[in-house]
Structure 1
Amino acid sequence: MARICTLSEAIEENVRDGDSIAMEGFTHLIPYAAGHEIIRQDRKELFLIRMTPDLIYDQLIGVGAARGMKFSWGGNPGVGSLHRFRDAVENQWPRPLEIEEHSHAAMANAYEAGAANLPFAMLRGYIGADLAKVNPNIKSITCPFTGEVLAAVPSIRPDVSIIHAQRADRKGNVLIEGISGVQKEAVLAAKRSIATVEEIVDELDPPSPNAVVLPTWAVSSVVHVPGGAFPSYAHGYYARSNAFYIAWDKIARDRDSFTAWIKEHVRGGKPEDFARHVGKRSAKAA
């Protein structure tokens, strides 16, 4: 059963040094506030998992919290590179970073296999691609019924998965609306999970047709964090801060400016401060 608690408590109880950690949210509902609390609690040796790592993983890599990352695309959406990610791979700053690259299809199938407690996922993929030459976790398997050769990848079973969602009720059931990505599969595949939410309500509204409800037994901790997905958007609550994504390119390009930004806005602040103050500055920059 999910425990409703503070963000500090949720990270302290569920995220441990050395964990494999998935923080999912596709385009919106990216759990930035939870990622910042991981930085504040100075977690180390994390193996990051995310289909599309963007700014929050750039920040975790830049502070030296990550030992490696499994992913299928990495960048600042609509802007360019993740400079802290690139610096870690190309120059080993602030530490070397192990990388394991997959396709989107492989990652999605691997999450689904993990949620089903299967050891691997198979798919029609990587045909004519060279990624298998540099990733030993991409293998092939022959179908025992047709003889067709298919791609196979290990299932994703994180130690902890973290998502952001719109609402939870007081029993800990969590409602996700809009683009759901692989949040459901990430939570079901994990040993432990955290859901930060915009609201905690007495009863969940009847969901829209494409909504997902995660039952309380599937979630370890539920945390009320309004604005917890900023600068990404939360469908029905606030828009994406395109200005911040643009501003991040300059902030992260230089090691000193990145470190100063983390010190001011993450280590020295609270989730509500980040969304309020940084959001206002981003709006003015736009």
Structure 2
Amino acid sequence: MVDKTASLSEAVSTHLNDGDTVALEGFGHLVPVAAAHEIIRQRFSGLTLARMSCDVIVDQLLGAGCLQGLISSFVANSSAGSLYELRRRVEHCDPEPLWFDEYSHGGMVARYQAGAAKLPFQPIASYRGSDLAKKNPRIRTVDDPYGGPSIHVVPALNPDLTIVHAQRADSQGNVQAWGMLGIQTEAAFAGRRLVVTVEEIVDEDIVRSDPNRTIIPAHIVDAVVPVPRGSHPHAVQGCYDRDDEFSRAWSTLAREASAVSAWLEENIHGTADHEEFLSRIGLDRFDRLSIRDTFSTPVNYGGRV
């Protein structure tokens, strides 16, 4: 058994390089926010970010000068407003243009699925009649070899590094998650390297007691990092709720580029790690994000007597 636990700073510095394509996936909750902040803290540059659903970390990575490109299918601060740093780059090339490779959610899923299966591309039927296929030259049309109508295809997505967040893992890197899942498993298998941040590291026996919750097996994980509250301001099912107040405040703050720079300098570059960042924004806010226990029905896996 190989212990793959690492600190967040060690995992990011070891497995990410300037110029890489990095996927930060998690849909609605389980978003690897602490990892994004560590990328900023270590001042990486020239990165291309793959993320289905953009949010505050996209604005923050852009404001920190980490990104040269974005691969995505949704660009808004959830229900909290706009991402003004992203808008400045896309609408006004301010301070410079951003390469933006746009797909639908289905297109992003298909790209990760192809990458995970080590296929060159994936067919997708939902682009029939869509203008998006006309706007993005990477969405191609091929003949159906079985005689049907032609079909659109999207290229495989194989990030240099994938980072996902989950509720728990053992020290070997068997990762378990529950609640609303996105494309984490496919993105994990598609990545050339994989770092997983988790709310807690648990004993192997806990993982073995409920194996169907394992969404990522240890053999593809390069590092597993315990980062409690590592998804804030997003939720983690069973741990804490979404911090809508923070996200709404970000949309107000980010209207001015200078305010974004000042916030990053104080709260990310001015902190040593995620724990200090949380202390800076106020740990008392997690009292307001606390949740009640709601347990699922026990499952009897059975076994020999």
| TM beyond 0.5 | yes
How many aligned residue pairs are there?
285
Q: Give the distance between the partners of 1:232 and 1:71, measured in 2 at CA.
A: 18
Aligned residue in 1 for 2:102: 101
- RMSD over aligned CA atoms reads 1.9
3-state DSSP of counterpart to 1:253: coil
Q: From the superposition, tell whether residues 4 and 90 of structure 1 become closer, same or farther in structure 2 (CA, over 3 Å).
A: same
Aligned residue in 2 for 1:120: 121
Aligned residue in 2 for 1:24: 25
Say whether 1:275 aligns with 2:281. Answer: no
Once the two structures are TM-superposed, the CA of residue 281 in structure 1 deviates from its matched residue by: 7.2
Once the two structures are TM-superposed, the CA of residue 33 in structure 1 deviates from its matched residue by: 0.4
Once the two structures are TM-superposed, the CA of residue 120 in structure 1 deviates from its matched residue by: 0.4
Aligned residue in 2 for 1:49: 50
Once the two structures are TM-superposed, the CA of residue 94 in structure 1 deviates from its matched residue by: 3.2
Q: Give the distance between the partners of 1:3 and 1:283, measured in 2 at CA.
A: 29
Q: From the superposition, tell whether residues 138 and 2 of structure 1 become closer, same or farther in structure 2 (CA, over 3 Å).
A: farther
Deviations 1:206-255 (A, max 9, x none): 4486x343111111111111111111011111111011111111111111
**Equivalent position to 1:259, from 261, 265, 271:** 261
TM-score with structure 2 setting the length = 0.89
3-state DSSP of counterpart to 1:199: strand
Aligned residue in 2 for 1:143: 144
**Equivalent position to 1:236, from 232, 235, 238:** 238
Q: Is the 8 Å Cα contact of residues 19 and 159 (structure 1) preserved in structure 2?
A: yes
Q: Is the 8 Å Cα contact of residues 168 and 175 (structure 1) preserved in structure 2?
A: yes
Which residues of structure 1 form unaligned runs of 5+? none
Q: Give the distance between the partners of 2:39 and 2:152, measured in 1 at CA.
A: 35
Aligned residue in 2 for 1:10: 11
Q: Is the 8 Å Cα contact of residues 23 and 161 (structure 1) preserved in structure 2?
A: yes
Q: From the superposition, tell whether residues 198 and 86 of structure 1 become closer, same or farther in structure 2 (CA, over 3 Å).
A: same
Percent pairwise identity:
42
Which residues of structure 2 form unaligned runs of 5+? 290-305
Deviations 1:36-70 (A, max 9, x none): 00001110000111111111111111111111111
Aligned residue in 1 for 2:186: 185
TM-score with structure 1 setting the length = 0.94
Once the two structures are TM-superposed, the CA of residue 165 in structure 1 deviates from its matched residue by: 0.7
Q: Which moved more, 1:73-82 or 1:270-279?
A: 270-279
Q: Is the 8 Å Cα contact of residues 80 and 244 (structure 2) preserved in structure 1?
A: no
Once the two structures are TM-superposed, the CA of residue 3 in structure 1 deviates from its matched residue by: 2.1
More strand by share: 1
**Equivalent position to 1:224, from 223, 226, 239:** 226
Q: Which amino acid aligns with 1:214?
A: I
Q: Is the 8 Å Cα contact of residues 83 and 249 (structure 1) preserved in structure 2?
A: yes
Once the two structures are TM-superposed, the CA of residue 18 in structure 1 deviates from its matched residue by: 0.4
Q: Which amino acid aligns with 1:13?
A: T
Once the two structures are TM-superposed, the CA of residue 170 in structure 1 deviates from its matched residue by: 1.9
Q: Give the distance between the partners of 1:166 and 1:84, measured in 2 at CA.
A: 30
Q: Give the distance between the partners of 1:112 and 1:152, measured in 2 at CA.
A: 12
Q: Is the 8 Å Cα contact of residues 198 and 225 (structure 1) preserved in structure 2?
A: yes
Q: Is the 8 Å Cα contact of residues 141 and 153 (structure 2) preserved in structure 1?
A: yes
Once the two structures are TM-superposed, the CA of residue 91 in structure 1 deviates from its matched residue by: 2.3
